[in-house]
Copies of this chain bind each other. A is one copy, B any other.
Amino acid sequence: MTYDVAVIGAGPGGFDAAVESARYGLKVALVEKRDLGGTCLNRGCIPTKLWLGATSAIEELRNQSRLKVASGEVAVDFAALQNRVQKHLAGTRKAMAAQLGELGIDLHQGEGNLSEPGKVLVRGEDGETVLGYKNLVIATGSRPTFFPGLEPDGDCVLDSDMFLDQKTMPASLIVVGAGFIGLEMAQVAHRFGAKITVIDAMDRVAPLEDPEVSQALGAIFKRWKWDIRLSQRVAGCATVDGRAELTLDSREKLTADKILVAVGRGPVTDNIGLRKAGVELQFGKAVVNEFLEAAPNVYAIGDANGHIQLAHAASHQAHYVAARMAGRMEGPYVPGPVPSVLYGSPEVMRVGQTETDAFLQDYDTTETSKAMLAANPMAQAHAATQGFVKVIWSAGKVVGVTAVGHDVSRLCTAATLIVAQGWREVDIHSIMFAHPSLDEALLTALRAERTRVC
């Protein structure tokens, strides 16, 4: 049969595209070669958050213990936690499958291939099926990528998929790549008592963030006795005699129970026959126009188009594409400011432009204003006072917000609204911030004296 919409990939982008399209009354086929939920649910955001949630008492206790207010011990049973994670994921997948059923979406398990225009060939365990489509959505996601010599061996050298799949948490861990994925997983291992080493080729942790955010994060990790090695390149990783061995370009060798390689992710756009469907690829990314079209009636969303590697960005694009396929959306895709979060404690949040972005765009009027978390009673209450909130202004309007410290992810949605609306000084008191709240640190930052960026 010919579907109104065929979607390849059932991660956050693809699943939402399928569901939203069906809600618009379109007949939808969803093709997935592995599990419903994709990387985010099965091998990414969600299991990591379950790990962080289950271990948050450890960090809270450590903070209060430092002040001699609390004592005791919290032991998390890693095997029980992994069991719970698997149960949670299975339950979520089941709920997703039920939702597909209710909406009359046909789920085709197997690998999709664009055999000829207007057709998807699905190779599944039960053989091959050919689906006709009027509109196609490519939502094939991403997978970990590696530099030569850093490929995981599944023994002691792991990628993030393998790390999440472990049976025990290592007592010592080397993390290659100080981005959000590496730092979240390192925080979990740290809570389990692991000795942590972090290596990055850049000169700071979280190198995509504001340099002051990197500095604050680095200071906290150093206080935790993490061995942080920056501006260092890794020549190779290997399992040697049952242990992980890492060789730096300097020839220095480091060993640990495990190495986690988290140097980046790249789009999954090979072996699908995308070129046959008229899709152009650049560095593996499906090139799309302002309507997220990779070819006539062919859309590419989420990690597959490589614009922003974030689940919520994929979902937001899915919403647009579904509306467009249903004839409800004429104009181009407008993402608005995209929030990003590093979870744990400390956390990092960022939305809109960074100080550098803003300065490069308009160096005459870029200003920043800042509030330290140490002055906030909720940060004090959690004995976690390192960090700050920074507001980036351009031409008198808020164009970005970033923050680092305990629980700063809670500023994310409000900050996104404020950046989207481009608040000016006069808007600051248009709403009330609850007192006391960590959110007031954002209010304080909005009100603080501004410094010209130069």
Residues of A within 8 A of B (CB): 12, 40, 45-46, 49-50, 52-57, 60-61, 64, 67-77, 80-81, 84, 88, 92, 95, 310-313, 315-316, 319-320, 335-341, 349, 375, 377-378, 380-383, 409-414, 416-418, 420, 429-437, 439, 442
Inter-chain contact A64/B76, CB cutoff 8 Å: yes
Across-interface contacts of A53 in B (CB, < 8 A): 378, 380-383
Task: State the Cβ distance, A61 to closest chain B Cβ, in Å.
Answer: 4
3 closest pairs, A vs B, by CB? A53-B381, A57-B60, A413-B414
Inter-chain contact B80/A68, CB cutoff 8 Å: yes
Across-interface contacts of A50 in B (CB, < 8 A): 377, 380-381
Inter-chain contact B339/A434, CB cutoff 8 Å: yes
Inter-chain contact B413/A433, CB cutoff 8 Å: yes
Inter-chain contact A434/B337, CB cutoff 8 Å: no
Across-interface contacts of A418 in B (CB, < 8 A): 417
Partner of A57, one of B70, B414, B439: B70
Given A71-B74, A310-B435, A312-B433, output 12 extra A-B contacts at Cβ < 8 Å.
A40-B435, A46-B377, A57-B70, A70-B75, A70-B77, A312-B435, A319-B429, A336-B430, A338-B432, A412-B434, A414-B414, A416-B434
Inter-chain contact B67/A57, CB cutoff 8 Å: no
Question: How far does the alpha carbon of A26 sit from the alpha carbon of B70 in the complex, in Å?
Answer: 46
Task: State the Cβ distance, A434 to closest chain B Cβ, in Å.
Answer: 4
Known contacts A50-B380, A381-B53, A435-B45; is-contact A75 B72 (Cβ 8 Å): yes
Inter-chain contact B40/A67, CB cutoff 8 Å: no
Task: State the Cβ distance, A404 to closest chain B Cβ, in Å.
Answer: 15
Inter-chain contact A67/B49, CB cutoff 8 Å: no
Task: State the Cβ distance, A24 to closest chain B Cβ, in Å.
Answer: 14
Question: How far does the alpha carbon of A56 sit from the alpha carbon of B61 in the complex, in Å?
Answer: 8
Q: Is the interface of A mostly helix, strand, loop or mixed?
A: helix
Residue of B nearest to A420 (CB): B431
Across-interface contacts of A431 in B (CB, < 8 A): 336-337, 413, 416-417, 420
Across-interface contacts of A341 in B (CB, < 8 A): 434, 437
The residue among A312, A375, A418 with the most chain B CB atoms within 10 A of its own CB is: A312
Question: How far does the alpha carbon of A60 sit from the alpha carbon of B73 in the complex, in Å?
Answer: 13
Inter-chain contact B54/A74, CB cutoff 8 Å: no
Task: State the Cβ distance, A4 to closest chain B Cβ, in Å.
Answer: 21
Inter-chain contact A439/B420, CB cutoff 8 Å: no
Across-interface contacts of A417 in B (CB, < 8 A): 414, 417-418, 431
Across-interface contacts of A75 in B (CB, < 8 A): 70-72
Question: How far does the alpha carbon of A420 sit from the alpha carbon of B414 in the complex, in Å?
Answer: 12
Question: How far does the alpha carbon of A437 sit from the alpha carbon of B349 in the complex, in Å?
Answer: 12
Residue of B nearest to A429 (CB): B319
Across-interface contacts of A437 in B (CB, < 8 A): 341, 409, 412-413
Residue of B nearest to A440 (CB): B312
Inter-chain contact B77/A71, CB cutoff 8 Å: yes
Task: State the Cβ distance, A337 to closest chain B Cβ, in Å.
Answer: 7
Question: How far does the alpha carbon of A144 sit from the alpha carbon of B50 in the complex, in Å?
Answer: 42
